[in-house]
Chain A
Amino acid sequence: METQKKNEQWQVISGLLILSIIGLFVVIGPFLTPDPCRQNLTQVFTQPGTPYLLGADHLGRSVAARLAGGGMNTLSFSLLCVAGSVLSGVGLGLAAAWCGGLTDTLIMRLVDITMAFPGIILALLIAGVVGGGPVAVIIALMLTGWPEYCRISRAVGLNTMSRPYVEAGVLAGFSGFFILRKYIIAEVLPQITVLAPLGLGRTVLNISSLGFLGIGLAPPEPEWGAMIAESLPYLRQSPHLVLVPATALSLTVFAFFLIGRPLGRRVRK
């Protein structure tokens, strides 16, 4: 048991390390590299080295700059999606637990309906109906993300509400809002926070897959999945154009999973 605990700590630490390196690159990168959308047609397909650190793509744009800018887009969209689904999931889950009865049934049926669509399919459906673009993608991924948080916060909320100290709070005359805030949300939030890294990893995967499919940000803007799709025709001559963003993407997701797995296991116990 002791070795397993150490093993898990080691995983979380290395995950955090990878993430902070990527985060640093994404935040500082744009200041050190040229504009990710500026084309320099004399430098098309330059190999890594000078003048561009990671070479240039088929339009002579700096790969390093696009990697940093794309990371910014991919990561900030993922954060937005997960924040949105956590907020709506916890809100609806607590509402279901607190109100019970018809509200509970309705919300849980809504969860069932959402779970009937695989994530990317739902995103495609929404993008097809309202048109593509980042807003459609973010809304779609929020819609697929919330049921998980809703289920857990409802379960934890119900469990907490049956505890004697909540009953004591009611007897002491505290308002419902106070009990919800001080007793129940305080119990639900840690459990949800711990699930966030796994959710982030999955969202990064989904966003980049949608970017790869050409749904999401409009073309000149960089995005990791879209960068890979753009460089696909040149896979034979300059594979590094594909491999660089692919590595960054996989490392990020791997780091989120490294942090998320041990934390998630702790929730289940």
Chain B
Amino acid sequence: MGQVVRSICTHLFQGISVALIVATLGFLAVNLTRGDTALDIAIARYSEDLADERVVELVRREEGLDQPLFVQYCQWVGRILTLDLGRSLVSREPVTALLIHHFHYTFLLATAAIAVSLLIALPWGVLCGIYPGGTFDHISSMICSALVSVPQFVIGLLLILALAIRLHWFPVAGFFSPAHLVLPAITLGIGLAAVSSRVIATSLAEVRGSLFYRFGAMKGLSPFRVFTAHGIRNASIPVVTYISVQAAHLLDGVVVVETLFAWPGLGKLLLDSVLARDIPVIQGACLLIGILYVAVNITVDLICLVLDPRRRNRLATS
């Protein structure tokens, strides 16, 4: 089996297990921690005075809560797999609607963060990769490891202190105008750029040192032509592969940065529902984030397949 096919199968398996595990944890949480679910539903429907034992029993039968736990579990998982995620315990809104609403904001933030990180990392990485081992490369490498050691919420705080409180360039927090997007996007983008500029630098240095690249220069191609014809595409393969690591970094960071800047995205939704122990929303948000992460990984595999014909050939022959 080809390497890529195997990798995609792994990711598909991951996706299914994520859904199953999140659903199982959600089911356990509901059944282990809360009291009588039927009583809760009966009270919610018919008010506390009318919810006597007979009514509770009727509700229990109606909702299938008298079934054995295993049957209930199968029904629960079935509902999750058909994307019926229930309603929030706090706001009573359907979880799917909540997720879509908040995902919109996270998507905006993530896109802006990736744009910022590319703006920083591409020129920086290419400059370092042209003279690997030089002074500039060394200094950037130190700066990058320093940047990686600073937690994202500290980077965000420093940006707030400098650009929002001292200089009043941008608003401190909120989500009312495009200006509110700037600070959170830079906070997330800096962390991403620090690592990806190193990846770009090393892969570029490696490609430039390879035999085919030097042969290209030797047969008379101009430095620019060698770079565009042989450099960019080969150097981009590790960079694209690295996106899957970055996605994890981004999804973790989104929770912290959205909380810091009061940005109403998925991360903030997840944290708020964890603090309120709103199980259906926790379940839905984790499910969505897990699936997103797996989807990014599959996309990365497919892009690599397009970029690198060697992998395609291996796929055909094996």
Chain A interface residues toward B at CB < 8 A: 7, 109, 112-113, 115-121, 124-132, 201, 205-206, 208-209, 212-215, 225, 228, 232, 235-236, 239, 242, 246, 249-251, 253-254, 256-258, 261
With A116-B15, A121-B251, A253-B151 as given contacts, are A131 and B277 in contact (CB-CB < 8 Å)? yes
Q: At the interface, yes or no: B146 with Cβ under 8 Å from chain A?
A: yes
Q: At the interface, yes or no: B232 with Cβ under 8 Å from chain A?
A: no
Contacts of A261 in B (CB 8 A): 145
Q: Are A128 and B274 in contact (CB under 8 A)?
A: yes
Bound form: Cα–Cα A250–B146 in Å: 8
Task: Output the nearest chain B residue to A108 by Cβ-Cβ distance.
Answer: B10
User: B137 → chain A, closest Cβ, in Å?
Assistant: 12
Task: Output the nearest chain B residue to A249 by Cβ-Cβ distance.
Answer: B151
Q: At the interface, yes or no: B226 with Cβ under 8 Å from chain A?
A: no
Q: Are B256 and A254 in contact (CB under 8 A)?
A: no
Contacts of A256 in B (CB 8 A): 149
Q: At the interface, yes or no: B231 with Cβ under 8 Å from chain A?
A: no
Q: At the interface, yes or no: B55 with Cβ under 8 Å from chain A?
A: no
Q: At the interface, yes or no: B255 with Cβ under 8 Å from chain A?
A: yes
Bound form: Cα–Cα A250–B148 in Å: 9
Q: Are A112 and B14 in contact (CB under 8 A)?
A: yes
Extra 6 A-B pairs, beta carbons < 8 Å, given A118-B293, A250-B149, A257-B145: A117-B286, A120-B255, A201-B149, A246-B157, A250-B151, A258-B145
Within residues 252 to 291 of chain B, which ones have a CB less than 8 A from any CB in chain A? Answer: 252, 255-256, 259, 270-271, 273-275, 277, 279, 282, 286, 289-290
Contacts of A7 in B (CB 8 A): 138
Q: Are B14 and A124 in contact (CB under 8 A)?
A: no
User: A269 → chain B, closest Cβ, in Å?
Assistant: 15
Interface centre among A129, A201, A242 (most CB of B within 10 A): A129
User: A244 → chain B, closest Cβ, in Å?
Assistant: 12
Q: At the interface, yes or no: B69 with Cβ under 8 Å from chain A?
A: no
Per-residue 0/1 for B157-174: is the Cβ within 8 Å of any A Cβ (1 yes, 0 no)? 110110001000000000
Give the 5 A-B residue pairs with the shortest CB-CB distance, closest first: A254-B149, A128-B274, A116-B14, A253-B149, A128-B282
With A120-B255, A212-B256, A257-B145 as given contacts, are A115 and B14 in contact (CB-CB < 8 Å)? yes
User: A199 → chain B, closest Cβ, in Å?
Assistant: 14
Interface centre among B145, B153, B158, B160 (most CB of A within 10 A): B153
Q: Are B13 and A128 in contact (CB under 8 A)?
A: no
Number of residue pairs across A and B with beta carbons under 8 Å?
A: 127
Q: Are A208 and B151 in contact (CB under 8 A)?
A: yes
Contacts of B249 in A (CB 8 A): 118
Q: Are A121 and B252 in contact (CB under 8 A)?
A: yes
Bound form: Cα–Cα A261–B146 in Å: 12
Q: Are B151 and A129 in contact (CB under 8 A)?
A: no
Within residues 219 to 248 of chain B, which ones have a CB less than 8 A from any CB in chain A? Answer: 247-248
With A209-B152, A209-B153, A239-B161 as given contacts, are A125 and B256 in contact (CB-CB < 8 Å)? no
A-B contact pairs, 9 of them (CB 8 A): A113-B21, A116-B293, A118-B248, A118-B252, A121-B290, A124-B282, A128-B29, A249-B151, A257-B149
Q: Are B149 and A120 in contact (CB under 8 A)?
A: no
Contacts of B252 in A (CB 8 A): 118-121, 206, 209
Contacts of A127 in B (CB 8 A): 274
User: A256 → chain B, closest Cβ, in Å?
Assistant: 8
Q: At the interface, yes or no: B51 with Cβ under 8 Å from chain A?
A: no
With A209-B151, A228-B157 as given contacts, are A109 and B13 in contact (CB-CB < 8 Å)? yes
User: B296 → chain A, closest Cβ, in Å?
Assistant: 11
Bound form: Cα–Cα A192–B177 in Å: 48
Bound form: Cα–Cα A115–B7 in Å: 13
Per-residue 0/1 for B1-41: is the Cβ within 8 Å of any A Cβ (1 yes, 0 no)? 00000000010011101100110011011000000000000
With A212-B153, A250-B154 as given contacts, are A129 and B270 in contact (CB-CB < 8 Å)? no
Contacts of A212 in B (CB 8 A): 151, 153, 256, 259
With A205-B151, A209-B256 as given contacts, are A121 and B270 in contact (CB-CB < 8 Å)? yes
Q: Are A242 and B157 in contact (CB under 8 A)?
A: yes
Q: Are A129 and B18 in contact (CB under 8 A)?
A: no
Q: At the interface, yes or no: B207 with Cβ under 8 Å from chain A?
A: no
Q: At the interface, yes or no: B77 with Cβ under 8 Å from chain A?
A: no
Q: At the interface, yes or no: B294 with Cβ under 8 Å from chain A?
A: yes
User: B220 → chain A, closest Cβ, in Å?
Assistant: 33
Contacts of B18 in A (CB 8 A): 113, 116-117
Contacts of B275 in A (CB 8 A): 214
Bound form: Cα–Cα A109–B6 in Å: 13
Bound form: Cα–Cα A242–B17 in Å: 40
Q: Are A213 and B255 in contact (CB under 8 A)?
A: yes
Task: Output the nearest chain A residue to B278 by Cβ-Cβ distance.
Answer: A128
Q: At the interface, yes or no: B44 with Cβ under 8 Å from chain A?
A: no
Q: Are A128 and B273 in contact (CB under 8 A)?
A: yes
Bound form: Cα–Cα A213–B258 in Å: 10
Bound form: Cα–Cα A235–B22 in Å: 38
Interface centre among B146, B154, B161 (most CB of A within 10 A): B154
Contacts of A214 in B (CB 8 A): 271, 275
Residue of B17, B28, B154, B271 touching A228 (CB-CB under 8 A) = B154
Contacts of B153 in A (CB 8 A): 209, 212, 225, 228
Task: Output the nearest chain B residue to A130 by Cβ-Cβ distance.
Answer: B29
Contacts of B13 in A (CB 8 A): 109, 112
